[in-house]
Amino acid sequence: AQSVAQPEDQVNVAEGNPLTVKCTYSVSGNPYLFWYVQYPNRGLQFLLKYITGDNLVKGSYGFEAEFNKSQTSFHLKKPSALVSDSALYFCAVRLTGYSTLTFGKGTMLLVSP
């Protein structure tokens, strides 16, 4: 079985400040990890993924995420938040050998001007 936890329903940050959106996972093997963003009434847009290799992954719109195997975490980060980053963010995991993604409940990011 595989699962994802996003412990924060909402994260508030001021524009220009760094942001972190947390994600922890539980799988019985090696995971593929993903972050997606969703704007109101829209589908999910892919941000970045970890498959193997370097633990720090860089993605779209200046986002990055760090894979930490010992803590089973894959937190999403950005050095300087923009108001336009305000959206719903989902972490997802796929176990190697399987084809389906399991998503977390999502974290609403609100960036204030």
Partner 1 sequence: DTGVSQDPRHKITKRGQNVTFRCDPISEHNRLYWYRQTLGQGPEFLTYFQNEAQLEKSRLLSDRFSAERPKGSFSTLEIQRTEQGDSAMYLCASSPAPQGKELFFGEGSRLTVL
Within 8 A by CB and 6+ apart from 93, the residues are: 2, 3, 4, 25, 27, 31, 32, 33, 34, 101, 102
Whether 71 contacts 22, CB under 8 Å? no
Stretch that binds partner 1, among 11-19, 22-30, 65-73, 93-101 (CB under 8 A): 93-101
Q: In this complex, which beta carbon is closest to partner 1, that of residue 43 or of residue 113?
A: 43
- Residue 42 vs residues 11, 34, 37, 88: alpha-carbon distances, Å: 20, 18, 10, 11
Stretch that binds partner 1, among 11-19, 66-74, 78-86, 99-107 (CB under 8 A): 99-107
The answer to whether 105 contacts partner 1 (rule: CB under 8 A) is yes
Query: CB of 39: closest distance to partner 1 in angstroms?
Result: 10
Query: CB of 5: closest distance to partner 1 in angstroms?
Result: 11
Whether 28 contacts 18, CB under 8 Å? no
Q: In this complex, which beta carbon is closest to partner 1, that of residue 45 or of residue 71?
A: 45
| Neighbouring-strand partners of residue 58 | 64
22-51 positions binding partner 1, by CB under 8 A: 32, 34, 36, 41-46, 49, 51
